[in-house]
């Protein structure tokens, strides 16, 4: 049975763990040849050994434009071209108030989360044009949509990723290059522990705790897993999404459908508070009628 990415060459950044790892694994399983970029060399080497000639690992600090260019070039040199780019590498940044945010730390988050996406997209254009087109998928976040989901530097950069994806989709349509953004919600990865300053091992343990306990955080009563994002990215990378570009694909278990009281009957809404009604009691406008 043919895979959904048979004959395609893909580059995945942040491929040694979390969402990037799940996506690289899914891409290979669906027939793609993959270049995996990351700075976790031990994990990357292990990934390369697992998949033999179908995946190669290359160290890539995505804040270094030359390193990103070299990563794209590796796809051309190793596999003959480029069809899919998943700009996924990221970091959480620190949980600090705006007044205490160091501008250098802000610049670093922008470099990791936004400039890297611009860099990867720029360098992907020529090899994708040579193949007749391609698909670029950028990892944004529910934090791009509203306040309260992530640190301010992270949220600001992800908001810019979302808009950049639309701009790039418009411009690159003439080259038959589709650009889309995927917006993860609460996904059980180590990024939450990293935001709290935990070392990698502790952050991984926290991810396991999230997977076990995050069943009440959103309308769909289960924790989001890296595989859930990988499934969405696979669709956007495949020819099944040939008419999809400039889209923002939410994969958040319904987290952003509305405030908690809209889906949790035990959470009082603003009208319950105004009129002193207990949680769970349906609210009807006083006096009836329009």
Which of the residues are catalytic? 154
Distance in angstroms (rounded) separating the CA atoms of residues 158 and 109: 10
What HEC string does 82-123 produce? CCEEEECCCCCCCCCCHHHCCHHHHHHHHHHHHHHHHHHHHH
Nearest to 188 by CA among 228, 148, 139, 224: 224
Which of 143, 32, 45, 148 minimizes the C-alpha distance to 82? 32
Distance CA 136, CA 247 (A): 11
Residue in 95, 92, 138, 81 with CA at minimum distance from that of residue 115: 138
Query: Looking up tokens 């009691």, which residue turns up?
Result: 281
CB atoms within 10 A of CB 246: 16
In the three-class reduction of DSSP (H, G, I as helix; E, B as strand; rest coil), residue 61 is classed as coil
């Amino acid at each position: 049975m043919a895979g959904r990415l048979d004959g395609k060459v893909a580059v995945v950044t942040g491929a040694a763990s979390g969402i990037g790892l799940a996506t690289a694994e899914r891409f290979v399983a669906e027939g793609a040849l993959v270049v995996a970029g990351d700075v976790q060399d031990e994990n990357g080497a292990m990934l390369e050994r697992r998949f033999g000639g179908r995946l190669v690992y290359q160290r890539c600090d995505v804040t270094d434009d030359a390193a990103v260019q070299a990563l794209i070039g590796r796809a051309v040199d190793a596999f003959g071209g480029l069809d899919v780019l998943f700009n996924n590498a990221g970091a959480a940044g620190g949980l600090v108030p705006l007044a205490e945010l160091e501008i250098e730390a802000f610049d670093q988050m922008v470099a990791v989360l936004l400039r890297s996406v611009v860099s990867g997209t720029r360098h992907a254009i020529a090899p994708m044009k040579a193949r007749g087109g391609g698909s670029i998928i950028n990892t944004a976040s529910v934090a791009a949509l509203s306040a309260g989901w992530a640190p301010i530097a992270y949220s600001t950069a992800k908001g810019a990723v979302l808009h950049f994806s639309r701009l790039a989709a418009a411009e690159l349509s003439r080259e038959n290059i589709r650009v889309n953004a995927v917006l993860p919600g609460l996904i059980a990865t180590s990024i939450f522990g990293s935001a709290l300053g935990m070392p990698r091992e502790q952050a991984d343990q926290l991810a396991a705790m999230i997977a076990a306990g995050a069943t009440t955080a959103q309308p769909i009563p289960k924790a989001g897993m890296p595989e859930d994002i990988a499934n969405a990215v696979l669709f956007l990378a495949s020819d099944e999404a040939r008419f999809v570009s400039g889209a923002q694909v939410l994969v958040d278990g319904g987290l952003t459908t509305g405030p908690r009281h809209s889906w949790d009957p035990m959470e009082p809404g603003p009208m319950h508070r105004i009129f002193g009604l207990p949680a769970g009691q349906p609210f009807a406008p006083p006096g009836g009628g329009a």
